[in-house]
Amino acid sequence: MKKSIIYLASLLLPVSIMAQKVTFEEYDLDNGLHVVLHQDNAAPVVTTSVMYHVGAKDENPERTGFAHFFEHLLFEGTENIGRGKWMGIVSSNGGKVNANTSDDRTYYYEVFPSNNLELGLWMESERMLHPVIEKIGVDTQNEVVKEEKRLRVDNSPYGSFQAEIKKLLFSKHPYRWTTIGSMDHLDAATLEEFQAFNKKFYVPNNAVLVVAGDLNINKTKKMVEKYFGSIPKGKPVPRVSVKENPILTEKKGKYNDPNIQIPAIITAYRTPSMKSRDAYILNMVSTVLSDGKSSRLYKKLVDEKKMALQVGAFGQNLEDYGMYMTFGMPLGDTKLEDLVKEIDEEIVKIQTELITDREFEKLQNKYENQFVNANSSIEGIAHSLATYYLLYGDINLINNEIDIYKSITKEEIRAIAKKYLNPNQRVQLEYLPKEETKK
């Protein structure tokens, strides 16, 4: 590792037009691990990350919560890293570490000063090759996960709406359960089941390693081979392929949350995979509806008619399907069904009238802004590279995604809204405060 000398004054150098592009090298190891290297010597920082293609949707329906549980369990130690030592090794070497799980994947990463790149690689390779999965680790993390659920869901205002919406939108697909899963399932799981899950999913052919920041490409390649090359390849990992029947009649649900005083009404539509062009177009529909104070829903419901405390429309983009939701909290005496009526009116407008030229230009500017900001940190770039490779199947989207947005037409926006956002295709959730027990 060479000495890195950083002068922040170096940021004064004029930048070339191509500087916005993220450059990288990628290749496969023999064991199937995909490796992506991105060099940026501006700051003495390097991120080492591994994304595994396993998430809540890969779980056994009787053992939900496994993928997220593993995110905790795989910090318990490896054959060469003692139990409870992981965090201390990272912090005593000046780094920070984190991990997160979603329906589709689990992501682990360390950010270090660049003189500790080799340490990061060693740690992630240890985690992949031989994590220690023992009863004591399982029992401890079981309690921690229960606390996380209490904190994030049970005791959290509006914390349960995701779980309720998923139950309504999905009846066959594993997206119907939540990432945090069921505490009962976790209690019932045996040590053998945990070990089998590790063997099945935590293999190099089911993962991508991304190293980004102040590195030297050739030296890094040698280190990658050193630590990851000898990890044995695993069996091919089956991918979930469950098809849902289209929603043809509106479904309604209700939920009482003891942590809130003000109710909310949520409508949700099941939309296609984030990889599809339709998903990009729906993102733009959502921007027109609710992004910014001049957006249609905000202007009408919060500003002019003063019917809503908060209102929004947003999509959750996932690998197999998407969820598109509108969310409204009433102001004062406004009824929930009146909010829905108003939101529906705006959706009908988008389905029947083309957006104006001005609105269209506004969209372009917004997405350009988003694109510029997306790649502003090494940590962010590493996560994007991993995601585009593993989940989208097209790593070049990190530079090209903006072109998809630039190519979408006003007509497409109208047509896609018409295709997916009809009342008979949706679910409605009344999210209500808990009723007081009668005295």
Partner 1 sequence: MKTKILSLLALVFMTITTLQAQVDRSIQPAPGPAPKINIGKPQSFILSNGLKVMVVENHKLPRVSLNLRLDNPPVVDGDKAGVSDLTGAMLGKGSKTITKDVFNEEVDYMGASINLGAGGGFATSLSKYFNRLVALMADTAINPNFTQEEFDKEKEKSLENIKSEEKNIKSVSRRVKNLLAYGKNHPYGEYVSKETITNVTLADVNKHYQNYFVPDNAYLVVIGDVKFDEVKEVITEHFSNWRKGLAPSISIPNAKNVQFTQVNFIDMPDAVQSEITVVNSVDFKMNDSDYHAALIANKILGGGSLESMLNQNLREAHGWTYGAGSSLRPNKDTQSLFTASTSVRNAVTDSAVVEILNEINHIRTKEISAEKLKDIKAQYLGSFVLAMEKPETISRYALNIELNKLPANYYETFLEKINAVTIADVKRVANKYFLSNNSRIIIAGKGSDVVENLEKIMYNGKKIPVKYFDKYGNPTTKPIFSKPLPKGITAQSVIDTYFKAIGGKNVVSKIKTLGFSGNMNIMGQSMGLSINKMNPNKRAMILTHPQAGVVMKQVFDGEAGYMMQGPNKRPMSAEDIAEAKNKNVMFEELSLDMSKVTLESMTSVKGEDAYKLKVTGSGEPEYRYYSAKSGYLVKTETTKEAQGQKMTISTEYGNYTPTSGIQFPFSMTTKQGPQTFGMIIKKATVNEGVTEADFK
Q: With CB under 8 A as the contact rule, which of the stretches 160-168, 171-179, 253-261, 404-412 interacts with partner 1?
A: 253-261
- 414-433: which residues touch partner 1 (CB under 8 A)? 433
Smallest gap from residue 362 Cβ to partner 1 (A): 5
Q: Does residue 154 bind partner 1 (CB under 8 A)? A: yes
What is the C-alpha to C-alpha distance for residues 431 and 165, in angstroms, rounded to an integer?
A: 10
Burial class (CB within 10 angstroms; exposed 0-12, middle 13-18, buried 19+) of 139: exposed
Nearer to partner 1, 49 or 271 (CB): 49
Q: Does residue 262 bind partner 1 (CB under 8 A)? A: yes
From candidates 31, 39, 93, 422, binder to partner 1 by CB under 8 A: 93
Q: Does residue 143 bind partner 1 (CB under 8 A)? A: yes
Length of the chain: 439
Nearer to partner 1, 157 or 423 (CB): 157
From candidates 167, 173, 362, 414, binder to partner 1 by CB under 8 A: 362
From candidates 45, 73, 138, 209, binder to partner 1 by CB under 8 A: 45
What is the C-alpha to C-alpha distance for residues 238 and 31, in angstroms, rounded to an integer?
A: 17
Smallest gap from residue 1 Cβ to partner 1 (A): 3
Three-class SS of residue 330?
Answer: strand
Q: Does residue 73 bind partner 1 (CB under 8 A)? A: no
Between strands 34-39 and 25-28, the pairing is antiparallel
Q: Does residue 150 bind partner 1 (CB under 8 A)? A: yes
Q: With CB under 8 A as the contact rule, which of the stretches 98-106, 188-196, 312-320, 366-374 interacts with partner 1?
A: 366-374
- SS3 of 137-153: HHHHHHHHHHHHHHHHH
Number of residues that bind partner 1 (CB under 8 A): 108
From candidates 172, 258, 276, 409, binder to partner 1 by CB under 8 A: 258
What is the C-alpha to C-alpha distance for residues 95 and 110, in angstroms, rounded to an integer?
A: 7
Among residues 319, 384, 379, 233, the alpha carbon closest in space to that of 53 is found at 319
Give me the DSSP letters along 179-242. Answer: SS--HHHHHH--HHHHHHHHHHHSSGGGEEEEEEES--HHHHHHHHHHHHTTSPP-PPPPPP--
CB contact at 8 A, 6 and 115: no
Q: Does residue 122 bind partner 1 (CB under 8 A)? A: yes
Q: Using the structure block, give the residue that is written with the tokens 């010597």.
A: 41
Q: Does residue 91 bind partner 1 (CB under 8 A)? A: yes
Among residues 110, 54, 53, 56, the alpha carbon closest in space to that of 87 is found at 110
Q: Does residue 151 bind partner 1 (CB under 8 A)? A: yes
Q: Does residue 100 bind partner 1 (CB under 8 A)? A: no
From candidates 101, 290, 295, 384, binder to partner 1 by CB under 8 A: 295
Q: With CB under 8 A as the contact rule, which of the stretches 27-35, 298-306, 343-351, 413-421 interacts with partner 1?
A: 298-306
